[in-house]
Structure 1
Amino acid sequence: MSEQKIEFYKGPAGGWGALRSVTATLLKQDIPVKGAKTLLSANQPDGFDCPGCAWPDRNHASTFEFCENGVKAVAAEATARRAGPELFAAHTVAQLAQQSDFWLEDQGRLTHPMVYDAASDKYLPIAWDDAFALVARHLNALPDPNQAIFYTSGRASNEAAFLYQLFVREYGTNNFPDCSNMCHEPSGSGMRPQIGVGKGTVTLEDFEKTDAIFIFGQNPGTNHPRMLGELRAAHKRGAKIVSFNPLRERGLERFADPQDKFEMATLTSTAISTHYFQLRVGGDMAVVAGMMKHLIDRQDAGESVLDLDFISTHTSGFSDVAEGLRGETWAVLEEESGLSEAQIRAAADIYAEAKSAIFCWGMGITQHQNSVGTIQMLVNLLMMRGNIGRPGAGPCPVRGHSNVQGDRTMGIWEKPPAALLDRLGEVFGFEPPRAHGWDTVESIAAMRDGKGKVFFALGGNFAAATPDTYETWKALRRCDLTVHVTTKLNRSHVVHGREALILPCLGRTEIDIQAGGPQGVTVEDSMSMVHISTGINPPASEHLLSEPAIVARLAAATIGHSSNTPWLWLVEDYARIRDKIEAVFADFKDFNERVAVPGGFRLRNTASERVWTTPTKKANFVAHAVPRDTPSHRARARFAAKGDTVVFTLLTTRSHDQYNTTIYGHDDRYRGVFGQRRVVFIHEADIRALGLKDGDWVDIQTVWDDAGDGAQVRRADRFKLVAYDIPRGNLAAYYPETNPLVPLDSVALNAGTPASKSIPVILTPHTAPVAAKADHDASAYAIG
Structure 2
Amino acid sequence: MAKDLKSKVPGIEPFEGPAGGWSALGSVARVLKDQMAVGRETAALRKVNQPAGFDCPGCAWPDPKHTSSFEFCENGAKAVAWEATGKRATPALFAKSTVSQLWQWTDHALEDAGRLTEPMAYDAASDRYLPIGWDEAFARIGTALRALPDPDMAEFYTSGRTSNEAAFLYQLMVREFGTNNFPDCSNLCHEATSVALPQSIGVGKGTVTLDDFALCDALFSFGHNPGTNHPRMLSTLRELSLRGVPIIAVNPLRERGLERFASPQHPTEMLGGQGTPIAQTYYQVKIGGDVAFLKGMMKWLVANNALDHAFIAEHTNGIEALCQDLDATSWDDIVATSGLARDDIEAAARVYASAERVIVCYGMGMTQHRFGTRNVHQLANLLLLRGNIGKPGAGIAPIRGHSNVQGDRTVGITEKPTPALAEAIRRTYGFDVPLAHGHDSVAAVRAIRDGRSRALVCLGGNLAVAISDPDITFQAMRKLDLAVHIATKLNRSHLITAKESILLPCLGRTEVDLTARGPQFVTVEDSMSMVHASQGGLKPASPWLKSEPAIVAGIAKALLPGSRVDWDHLVADYDRIRDGIEAVFPIFHDFNRRVREPGGFRLYVGASVRDWGEGGRARFLVSPGLNEDLRLQGDGVLTLTTVRSHDQYNTTIYGYSDRYRGVEGRRDIVLISAQDLRDRGLAHGDRIDVESCLESAEDPGVRAVRGFTAVEYDLPRGSVAMYFPEGNVLVPLDCHDAHSGTPGYKSVPVRIRATADV
1:656 is the counterpart of 2:659: no
Distance in 2 (CA, whole Å) between partners of 1:707 and 1:147 is: 24
Q: Tell whether the 8 Å contact from 1:66 to 1:259 is kept in structure 2 after alignment.
A: no
User: Helix, strand or coil for the counterpart of 1:6?
Assistant: coil
The 2-side partners of 1:609 and 1:6 are apart by: 49
Distance in structure 2 (CA, Å) of the matches to 1:11 and 1:628: 36
From 662, 677, 680, the counterpart of 1:690: 680
Alignment pair present for 1:744 and 2:733: yes
Residue 211 to residue 557, structure 1, CA distance change in 2 (3 Å): same
- CA shift, 1:628, in A, is 4.8
1:416-431 to 2 correspondences below 5 Å: 416-431=417-432
Please tell me whether the aligned partners of residues 217 and 365 of structure 1 are also in contact (alpha carbons under 8 angstroms): yes
2:700 corresponding residue in structure 1: 711
Report matched runs for 1:25-36 at 5 Å: 25-36=31-42
What is the Cα deviation at residue 421 of structure 1?
1.2
1:192-232 superposed Cα distances (whole Å, 9 cap, x missing partner): 01111000000000000000110000000000000000000
Query: Match for 1:252 among 258, 265, 269?
Result: 258
**Partner SS for 2:657:** coil
Secondary structure at the aligned position of 1:273 is classed as: coil
Q: Are positions 1:168 and 2:169 aligned together?
A: no
Cα deviation digits, residues 319-341 of structure 1 (max 9, x gap): 11111101110001011111111
The answer to whether the 8 Å contact 2:695/2:732 transfers is no
How far apart are the structure 1 equivalents of 2:576 and 2:146?
A: 28
Check the 8 A contact 1:468/1:739 in 2, yes or no: yes
Query: Which residue matches 1:83?
Result: 89
Question: Does 2:598 correspond to 1:588?
Answer: no
Equivalent residue, structure 1, for 2:225:
219
Structure 2 equivalent of residue 621 of structure 1: 620
Counterpart for residue 265 of structure 1: 271
Q: For residue 210 of structure 1, what is the aligned residue in structure 2?
A: 216
For the Cα contact (< 8 Å) 2:656–2:664, is it kept in 1?
yes
- Offset at 1:46? 1.0
Secondary structure of the corresponding residue to residue 214 of structure 2: helix
**2:558 aligned with 1:557, yes or no?**
yes
Question: How many angstroms does 1:768 deviate by?
Answer: 5.1
The aligned amino acid for 1:515 is: A
Identify unmatched segments of 5+ residues in structure 1: 300-304, 641-645, 770-784
Check 1:707–1:452 CA distance in 2 against 1; reply closer, same or farther (3 A cut): closer
Aligned to 1:732: 721
What is the match of residue 132 of structure 2?
126
- In 2, Cα distance between the equivalents of 1:735 and 1:694? 21
Q: Shift of residue 125 of structure 1?
A: 0.4
Work out whether residues 66 and 258 of structure 1, in 8 Å CA contact, stay in contact via their aligned partners in 2. Answer: no
Secondary structure at the counterpart of residue 725 of structure 1: coil
Counterparts in 2 of 1:86 and 1:294: CA distance versus 1, 3 Å: same
Does structure 2 conserve the Cα–Cα contact (< 8 Å) formed by 1:89 and 1:122?
A: yes
Counterpart CA distance in 2 for 1:327 and 1:483 is 53
Residue 756 (1) aligns with residue 740 (2): no
Partner of residue 189, structure 2: 183
Residues 1:672 and 2:678 aligned together: no
Residue 289 of structure 1 contacts residue 626 of structure 1 at CA under 8 Å; is this kept in 2?
A: no
2:540 is equivalent to residue 516 of structure 1: no
CA distance in 2 between counterparts of 1:400 and 1:500 reads 29
- Tell me how large the CA RMSD over aligned residues is: 1.3
For residues 599-614 of structure 1, what are the structure 2 equivalents within 5 Å?
599-614=599-614
Change (3 A) 1:323 1:600: same
Q: CA deviation at 1:353?
A: 0.4
Letter in 2 for 1:655: S
Three-state SS of the structure 2 residue aligned to 1:721 is strand
1-structure distance, mates of 2:311, 2:700: 52
Within 5 Å, give how 1:477-516 maps onto structure 2: 477-516=478-517
The whole-number CA distance in structure 2 between the counterparts of 1:240 and 1:521 is 38
Instruction: Report the counterpart of residue 549 of structure 2 in structure 1.
Output: 548
1:369-389 superposed Cα distances (whole Å, 9 cap, x missing partner): 111111111101100000000
**CA offsets per residue over residues 236-261 of structure 1, 9 Å max, x none?**
11111000000011001000001111
The whole-number CA distance in structure 1 between the counterparts of 2:584 and 2:418 is: 13
Equivalent residue number for residue 145 of structure 1: 151
**Number of residues paired by the alignment?**
751
User: For residue 461 of structure 1, what is the amino acid of its counterpart?
Assistant: N
1:141-173 CA-to-partner distances (Å, cap 9, x unmatched) read 111100000000000000000000000000000
Aligned partner of 2:342 in structure 1 is 341
Identity within the alignment, %: 54
Give distance in 1, aligned partners of 2:499 and 2:248.
51
CA contact (8 A) 1:112 1:125 kept: yes
Letter in 1 for 2:717: R
Letter of the 2:586 partner, please give it: A
CA distance in 2, matches of 1:588, 1:162: 13
Distance (Å, rounded) in 2 between the aligned partners of 1:503 and 1:89: 17
Q: In the alignment, residue 717 of structure 1 is paired with which amino acid?
A: R
Q: Is the 8 A contact 2:250 2:284 kept in 1?
A: yes
1:558: how far off?
0.7
Cα shift at 1:756: 0.3
Deviation of 1:266 after TM superposition, in Å, equals 2.4
* Deviations 1:710-766, CA, capped at 9 Å, x for gaps: 931111122110000001111100011111111111111311100100011111222
1:100 aligns to 2:103 (yes or no): no
Distance 1:114 1:344 in 2: 57
2:229 counterpart of 1:230: no
Letter in 2 for 1:649: T
Which residue identity does 2:703 align to in structure 1?
R
SS, match of residue 360 in structure 2: strand
Residue type of the alignment partner of 2:366? I
**Secondary structure class of the residue paired with 1:718:** strand
Whole-angstrom CA distance in 1 between matches of 2:674 and 2:174? 52
Runs of 4+ that moved beyond 4 A: none
Question: Does the 8 Å CA contact 2:638/2:749 hold for their aligned counterparts?
Answer: yes
Given residue 6 of structure 1, which amino acid in structure 2 is its aligned partner? I
CA contact (8 A) 2:418 2:435 kept: no
Matches within 5 A, 1:40-439: 40-299=46-305, 305-439=306-440
- Select between 77-86 and 681-690 the one with higher mean Cα deviation: 681-690
Instruction: State the alpha-carbon separation in 2 of the partners of residues 286 and 683 from structure 1.
Output: 21
Aligned to 1:777: none
Contact 1:587 1:603 in 2 (8 A): yes
Output the CA distance in 1 between the equivalents of 2:84 and 2:533: 19
Q: 1:371–1:749: 8 Å Cα contact kept in structure 2?
A: no
Partners of 1:181 and 1:442 in 2: CA distance: 10
Tell me what 2:4 maps to: none
The partner residue of 2:28 within 22, 28, 32 is 22
Distance in 1 separating the partners of 2:134 and 2:319: 59
Partner of 1:766: 755
* 1:562 CA displacement: 1.9
Q: Give how far 1:4 is off.
A: 4.4
| Equivalent AA in structure 2 for residue 273 of structure 1 | A
- Structure 2 contact 690–704 (Cα < 8 Å) conserved: yes
Residue matched to 1:471: 472
Alignment partner of 2:213: what SS?
helix
CA deviation string 1:369-418 (max 9, x = no partner) = 11111111110110000000001100100000000000000100001222
